[in-house]
Amino acid sequence: MDIERLWKNAQEELKIVLAPAVFQTFVSKTQLIILKDSTATIACPNSYLADINQKRYYHLFKSALDNQTKTNNSISFIVQDLIKTETQNFSAPLLNFSPKSTYSPNLHPRYTLENFIVGNSNNFAFAAAQGIIKNPGSTYNPFFIWGGVGVGKTHLMQAIGHELLKNNSALKIKYFPAETFGNDLISALKSKNMNLFKDRYRQLDCILVDDIQFIAGKEYIQQEFFHTFNALHMSGRQVILTSDRKPSDIQNLEDRLVSRFMGGLTVDIQPPDYEMRCAIITQKAEIYGLKLQPPAVTFLAENIQSNIRDIEGNIQQIAIKAQSGRVGEIDLAFVQNYLNPLSSSGQNHFSSTNLTPRHIISLCAKHFDFKTSELCGKSRKKELVFARHLTAYLLLTEINLPLEEVGRLLGGRDHTSIMHARDKIHSDLAVNSSLRQLIDQIKRSF
Ligand code: ADP
Ligand code: MG
């Protein structure tokens, strides 16, 4: 019997034992290409199918083949895209397990370009994003966006994804946090599915990798990311990355990755300035159906300085409060009362985001018995430096103030010195339990 005939019979056998959809998806697209010395080589159109067939259906393939040849065969599945037309006479699939169907771009529907407010702090990043939308995979590749928490990095990156899909719905775009890449890699290694892993990432036309600083210090993940990056970048696919700092400031990131990341366009998004905060407050209030009087808008813009996520969270809370209290238009007194955590009502607000930077600074000054002006001044007296580090740490961790903003408030210091202050407190905390107690004590006074 020739090999084609034999394979046809074996397939018929498999067709009987498998559900039609399973047969259609996994078996119909395979082909026996070599059968020699009881060793069969079966071609699959992609590594995904090769993998599944090896893992799940090996024994079925084997018994079908053994029946036909009346011998004891061993099988290896290889990837080879041979079969294009063979499958048409089989019934249409009910299920489709191919990688395409499990693929989803993973974009948040609200993170669109229309919803993205442009101001001084992000206009450069916005302009670059428009360049990429017009011309993906060319000049601005990779596109690296960095900035503090909640300034809109994820939003902008996903907005690019939405626009690219609008222009070409066939593009395979995927958003994922770098952490997901790391987790996927680890499970691929565990289940010995590296081919599938590689395929999954390297078939994409555009990757949106969020919070890439996550891979710092993780040697194996960095190595694999490096190869994924190169595979995509070399074939002109668009890579967009975000991080909380610029590539050269990410500690324990391999030099070759730093230089790859800086090989395209690097932009930063700063915390919003006053004007932009007003615009954001107005827009978000509209979204949440909140009517704010102008003095309430300016008061909020003056007092929530940290980032856009905080602004949004606060607007949401105010809207809930206004609704439950059946308040119509929100005036200045309402938002003053809402924002002041030590207000006479003694209410504990939803989150610590109601703390203002000024509040934290003055409580820290009081705790260490310094004047605020000393805490934010130039002196490098030992006790002052420690108090300042701790204040920086609390501003960063309690209200997510961006490094630059903390530096500005604490006497015009550079963001790297704030970063060092934070790292210092962080590492001290690991070995010094009384420092933890001290921090808790200060936090209780908030
Ligand atoms: P990051 O990734 O920098 O931490 P996000 O992109 O998650 O910040 O943004 C935090 C929140 O603020 C999101 O709800 C986002 O929609 C909103 N946001 C950020 N930037 C803007 C902007 N320029 N216009 C409107 N909303 C924004
Ligand atoms: Mg983000």
Digit-coded pLDDT (tens) for 5-28: 999 999 998 888 787 778 888 898
Predicted TM-score (pTM) of the model is 0.60
For the chain, domain boundaries: 3-94, 123-269, 274-343, 357-444
**Above 50 in pLDDT, residue 100?**
no
The full 3-state SS of 230-243, as one line of letters, equals HHHHHCCCEEEEEE
Nearest alpha carbon, ligand 1 atom 6: 152
CA 358 vs. chain centroid, Å, equals 31
Q: Give the chain's mean pLDDT.
A: 87
Q: Verify whether ligand 1 is closer than 6 Å to residue 115 (CB atom).
A: yes
332: number of Cβ within 10 Å: 16
**Above 70 in pLDDT, residue 94?**
no
Higher pLDDT, 79 or 43: 43
**Above 90 in pLDDT, residue 56?**
no
Shared fold status for 123-269 and 274-343: no
User: Domain 274-343, what fold?
Assistant: Helicase, Ruva Protein; domain 3 (1.10.8)
The number of CA neighbours under 13 Å toward the Cβ of 47 is 12
- Ligand 1: residue of 149, 155, 396 to mutate (most ligand atoms within 8 A of CB) is 155
Q: Each residue of 42-75: b (16+ CB within 10 Å) or e?
A: bbbbbbbbbbbbbeebeebbbebbbebeeeebeb
Residue 111 CA to residue 155 CA, distance in Å, equals 5
353: number of Cβ within 10 Å: 21
Give the confidence band of 355 by pLDDT, cuts at 50, 70, 90: confident
Q: Verify whether ligand 1 is closer than 6 Å to residue 153 (CB atom).
A: yes
Peptide bond into 142 cis (omega under 30): yes
Higher pLDDT, 426 or 276: 276
Digit-coded pLDDT (tens) for 281-313: 999 999 889 999 999 999 999 888 888 999 999
Centroid of ligand 1 to alpha carbon of 271 (angstroms): 11
How would you list the strands of the sheet with 31-36, edge to edge? 31-36, 39-44, 74-79
User: Domain 123-269, what fold?
Assistant: Rossmann fold (3.40.50)
Lowest mean pLDDT among 74-88, 193-207, 429-443: 74-88
Nearest alpha carbon, ligand 1 atom 25: 116
Digit-coded pLDDT (tens) for 117-154: 999 999 999 999 999 999 999 889 999 999 999 999 99
Closest ligand by atom to 158 CA:
1
Give the confidence band of 89 by pLDDT, cuts at 50, 70, 90: very low
- Ligand 1: residue of 120, 242, 308, 405 to mutate (most ligand atoms within 8 A of CB) is 308
Q: What is the pLDDT of residue 51?
A: 85
* 3-state class (DSSP) for residue 42: strand
Binning the chain into helix, strand and coil, the percentages to the nearest 5 are 55, 10, 35
Give the confidence band of 362 by pLDDT, cuts at 50, 70, 90: very high
Q: Look up residue 24 and give its DSSP letter.
A: I
The number of CA neighbours under 13 Å toward the Cβ of 406 is 27
Nearest alpha carbon, ligand 1 atom 26: 116
Instruction: Provide CB contacts within 8 A for 299, sequence distance 6+.
Output: 332, 335, 336, 339
Give the confidence band of 280 by pLDDT, cuts at 50, 70, 90: very high
- Ligand 1 atom index nearest CA of 122: 23
Instruction: Provide CB contacts within 8 A for 444, sequence distance 6+.
Output: none
- Ligand 1 atom index nearest CA of 276: 23
> Which residue type occupies 65?
L
Give the confidence band of 351 by pLDDT, cuts at 50, 70, 90: very low
Residue 158 CA to residue 143 CA, distance in Å, equals 13
Report the CATH number of the 357-444 domain. 1.10.1750.10
Residue 14 CA to residue 128 CA, distance in Å, equals 54
- Ligand 1 atom index nearest CA of 242: 2
Centroid of ligand 2 to alpha carbon of 131 (angstroms): 21
Q: What is the pLDDT of residue 93?
A: 34
Among 157, 257, 169, 167, CA closest to 208: 157
**Above 70 in pLDDT, residue 87?**
no
Average pLDDT over residues 256-264: 97
Domain 3-94 class?
alpha beta
Q: Verify whether ligand 1 is closer than 6 Å to residue 116 (CB atom).
A: yes
Q: What is the pLDDT of residue 82?
A: 55
The full 3-state SS of 238-292, as one line of letters, equals EEEEEECCCHHHCCCCCHHHHHHHCCCEEEECCCCCHHHHHHHHHHHHHHCCCEE
Share of the chain above pLDDT 90, in %: 60
Angle between helix 308-324 and helix 294-303 axes, rounded to 10 deg: 140
**Above 70 in pLDDT, residue 336?**
yes
